[in-house]
Amino acid sequence: MTGRGEFPGAPVTRVAHAANARLVGAADARARLLTPALLVEQDVLDANIAAMQARCDRAGVALRPHAKAHKCVEIARRQLSAGAAGLCVATPGEAEVFARAGLPDLLLTSTFAPGPALEQLADAATLCRLTLVLDAPQTARALAAAARARGIRIPVLVDLDMGRHRAGAEGRQAVAALAGVIAEEESLVLGGLQAYAGHLSHQADARQRSLGAQEAAARIHAAREALSPFMGDIRPAVTGGSTGAFVQELATGVYTEFQCGSYALMDVEYDLVDPDGSGRPAFPASLSVAVRVTSANAPGLATTDGGEKRFAAKHGTAPRIMRGAPAGASYRPSSDEHGTVTLPEGARLSPGDLIELEVPHCDPTVNLYDFIHVMQGDKLVAIWSVDARGA
């Protein structure tokens, strides 16, 4: 970063070719949008970014937002300008996209295999500070060789299995063995632990979430002790945390960095989690999908142009109607291209009516779109590219 809010490089942009580009700057653009369209309310987005940053600042924990939620260089830049320590990415492709866009400090939160993905990551590590997570000695040795070949040193973290068994070193002995391998490699720099307790992120019961966070903290304490002989006087970094469990995870005091991502956009699935006991989501939804009624001949029903190709969900969660339909109406994607609005008795919609829907799951829904339409009231103020779509 060349200065607060200033970043070298620029993403490859296709915004000039976006279907709604002609509406940028129009005060009545919302009503005229070609749909389906992915929208973000700029004021809500910026408020969410500032609120999570403030929470982490007060707690003395760095915030490294997860860019897999939005895959958008412009949103990443806004998070960095608000004070984020860097960005997380989920895939080698995302790492390359954000590195080539000039973002200076990235953490890949997924493990990877020796071979093409490792070589892609080693190349990306020549473009920015890219920290990688490891859970296997053979991958560590292969990464060290790739770093030596490029004349660089790559910062790494030991990925800790937090109980999901998706990835990570399990237990003190495995952590120590892997740390020993890393310490032998001059081209790798051991920085600490990744300890992402993803099973807590959508745990609706606050008591179970708190107990889970305490169990996670115990795992982290043990792993940190196993790392200490290899860290010298350096305090090991511990990165993890989620939008759903950040309150309970902050309370444990073990994290030095948080990876929350969905807070900036939000979705229906995170709305179902009460992170702080207030009875409401900690962050309002800034993200929505605008659809338009295409047929309304059947009593009590209306059909829209927003079908299953436009929404992604876990566990069959439906989009939530935010605006544009009568109170008591519900929505479900009912075929590839179409959605169905079920209306309360006596209510009607007409072809052309615009409906805005909170998405079930923001990360994979964003990945279905090329562009994000940035709204302030009825005005379309910008169109941002989903730069890492499909990466």
Residue 84 has pLDDT above 80, yes or no: yes
Q: Are 367 and 324 in contact (CB under 8 A)?
A: no
Specify the pLDDT at position 10: 42
Nearest Cα residue to 132 out of 167, 97, 95: 95
pLDDT higher than 70, residue 13? no
Task: Name the one residue in this structure whose structure tokens are 């990876």.
Answer: 259
Closest CA to 124 of 261, 9, 258: 9
| 333 contacts 365 by C-beta, under 8 angstroms | no
pLDDT at 12: 43
Examine the pLDDT at 274 and tell me if it is beyond 90. no
Please give the average per-residue pLDDT across 236-254, as a whole number.
94
Contact predicate 180/230, CB 8 Å: yes
Q: For residue range 175-225, what is the model confidence (pLDDT) as tens digits?
A: 999 999 999 999 999 999 999 998 888 888 888 888 999 999 999 999 999
What does DSSP say about strands 62-63 and 257-258: parallel, antiparallel, or unpaired?
A: parallel
Q: Residue 203: what pLDDT?
A: 84
- What confidence tens digit (pLDDT) does each residue in 94-131 have? 999 999 999 999 999 999 999 999 999 999 999 999 99
- What is the pLDDT at residue 277? 80
Peptide bond before 229: cis, by omega within 30 degrees of 0?
no
- Rg, C-alpha atoms of the chain: 22
* Residues 142, 145, 149, 151, Cα dihedral to 10°: 120
Consecutive H or E run containing 37: strand 37-41
pLDDT top residue among 6 and 271: 271
Please, which pLDDT band fits residue 17 given cuts at 50, 70 and 90? confident
Q: Which of 21-35, 91-105, 202-216, 354-368 has the lowest mean pLDDT?
A: 202-216
> Mapping DSSP to helix (H, G, I), strand (E, B) and coil, where does residue 66 land?
strand
List the end-to-end C-alpha distance of the chain, in Å, as a whole number: 23
Q: Is the pLDDT of residue 2 over 60?
A: no
Q: Find the length of the chain.
A: 391
Q: What is the pLDDT of residue 11?
A: 44
User: pLDDT category, 314, cuts 50, 70, 90?
Assistant: confident
Q: How confident is the model at residue 4 (pLDDT cuts 50, 70, 90)?
A: very low
Alpha helices of the chain — where are they, by DSSP H? Answer: 29-32, 42-59, 73-81, 92-100, 116-124, 137-150, 172-183, 206-231, 246-252, 268-271, 362-366
Burial of 42 (0-12, 13-18, 19+ CB in 10 A): middle
* Residue 138 neighbours by CB under 8 Å, 6+ apart: 114
Q: What does the pLDDT average to over 336-343?
A: 98
Q: How confident is the model at residue 260 (pLDDT cuts 50, 70, 90)?
A: very high
What integer pLDDT is reported at residue 145 of this predicted model?
Answer: 98
Whole-angstrom Cα distance, residue 195 to residue 190? Answer: 15
> Which range, of 63-72, 117-126, 274-283, 335-344, averages the lowest pLDDT?
274-283
Quote the tokens at residue 316.
């069959």
Task: State the chain's mean pLDDT as an integer.
Answer: 94
DSSP state of 115: T
